[in-house]
Structure 1
């Protein structure tokens, strides 16, 4: 989640330890992304033209059934990584930028000041 100044809410682990609630939330996200199908789905959705993809566009690239794809999309949604909306008979998905910002901010390495020449 981004703060009022646009900075990500989660400080990198190198600066301060995670609290219990933040660790639980972030671990759900990382667990969801630990499956190769879900990681590919997230990538497909994020890179899809217009920033959102119909479930009908997501089944072709995988050698798994449509119900399996739906299960993986549900896991991504429950982890807070994607949003969705039903439009007629299809469901459309998009990546939630604030979720990616949380993951990114957590793993960000603080800049190390350059050493002065000796």
Structure 2
């Protein structure tokens, strides 16, 4: 489940749209699937390889035409609320770094969310 949540959070927050809006944009589904590939690689290298059936189902969900799916992290951004960046993506990118894995999209999404979080804290 963490693989799906992290992949969806990375894609929707980085690209600022619903699954359907991302899928409709040229190259959008490809970026989402690269997020999933990065997340899956980290899980596998951590000793928890997702089952192929789960990965295929997740691909279908994350590239569904017209889907209004967004993550709670993206909804929190839309509403100006704090986000769970460290719990969902920060831990994942830290694991990737320790394992020597290259996760550029997950890293970008994590940093983007940290910047957002820092700006919120500065306003408080």
**Normalising by the residue count of structure 2, what TM-score does the alignment of the two structures yield?**
0.31
Whichever of the two has the greater Rg, that structure is 1
Structure showing the higher helix proportion among its residues: 2
**Normalising by the residue count of structure 1, what TM-score does the alignment of the two structures yield?**
0.32
